[in-house]
Amino acid sequence: MQAPTTQAVIDLCISQGFAIAGVASATRSAHDDKLWQWLEDEKQGEMEWMNRNVDVRLDPRNLVENAKSVICIADRYGILEEDDNSHNSGKVARYAQGKDYHKVMKKRLHAICDTFKQQYPNEIFRSCVDTAPLLEREFAQKAGIGSVGKHTLVIEQGIGSWLLLGAIVTTVEIQPSAPSAPDPCSTCTRCIDACPTDAITPWEVDARKCISYLTIEHRTAIDLAFYEGIGHWIFGCDICQEVCPHNQPNERSAHSVIHEAYAPVVKSLDVLDVLHWDEEARMHHFRGSSMKRAKLNMIRRNAVIVAGNILAEIDNPELLAKIKEIASSPSEDPLVSNAAKVVLKKKN
């Protein structure tokens, strides 16, 4: 049976509510050396899963045997909005303010796969959102979704980088889309200059310094050197995207679809509230959210650090009393109590 046209594939993806779609050939990565060097330098931090299946990650044909094409899609998830500046607020990255994108995207990708499977019953269609070992950003650029910026995120010029990426790896050979231009940044270094922990160098992020990594993936104690830089970020960080010129509102971005599932439900978390959470409270607040990635002791550790930064700005006796209680409690999780002790020592 004849393969679908590229435009037919794109139209089907757009009909499922995706903002952008394109097709790339399923070929080996052109950045083998960079990935291996990044791993060798241990810039993945505690993300041990990055060390596994590297050969699969570098070539989608090792993920899906005889893969010929990668259908790439992107959801838009956020725009620049006013922050919650209440005294006890902990900031949440915009992608996590709505429903869990993994589930939102996977459901629609599965629907696309089912449609194709009916037409091509002998072919393979595997949907991928984050968890599969696939270099989504490289394929997104090859597929014309956008260009990788210096902050390592995909930028669609005219829409910006508030994008969530997904893909379908298939054994059907589809004509590739025109790729995106390689450099959307030129001489701009705003993301690099704005990063408070110096995590970004051109087209590379040292995860060990990245606020998003530290607050979401890093499961042990956070180095005191990063406490101040974390600021009010309790889950993730958007600084490099907020300062990006491509993310400033314009006529095109105003008319580009944002899936309703990403409408903000939780724009921020009350730090004092989080410090009182138990596991039941965490599960209640994170139900249906990608924030469930952060375990109870991690989100409370983050809250302690944010609390310390709030206390450096204003007097808040109730917050200070809670930090002291956590630091002195013998039943407290060590990850949280040790962070509280660091905050108190730093304050004194």
Catalytic residue numbers, as ranges: 130
Alpha carbons 318 and 204: distance in angstroms, whole number: 41
Q: What long-range pairs does 185-189 form, CB within 8 A, spacing at least 24?
A: 185/149, 185/150, 185/155, 188/150, 188/245, 189/150
Residue type, 109: L
Tell me how many helices (H) and strands (E) the chain has: 15, 11
Among residues 142, 13, 161, 162, the alpha carbon closest in space to that of 69 is found at 142
Helices assigned H by DSSP within the chain: 6-15, 32-40, 54-58, 101-119, 136-142, 190-194, 211-216, 227-230, 239-242, 251-255, 271-275, 279-286, 296-311, 317-328, 334-347
Q: How big is the CA angle at 136 (ends 134 and 139), to the nearest 5 degrees?
A: 105
| Calpha distance 164→150 (Å, rounded) | 17
Give the three-state DSSP class for 314: coil
Answer whether 245's CB lies under 8 Å from 190's CB: yes
Phi and psi, residue 130, nearest 5°: 70, -55
The secondary structure element, H or E, covering residue 69 is strand 69-76
DSSP 53: S
Task: Extract the tokens encoding 237.
Answer: 């960080």
Nearest Cα residue to 17 out of 131, 79, 128, 101: 101
Amino acid at 237: C
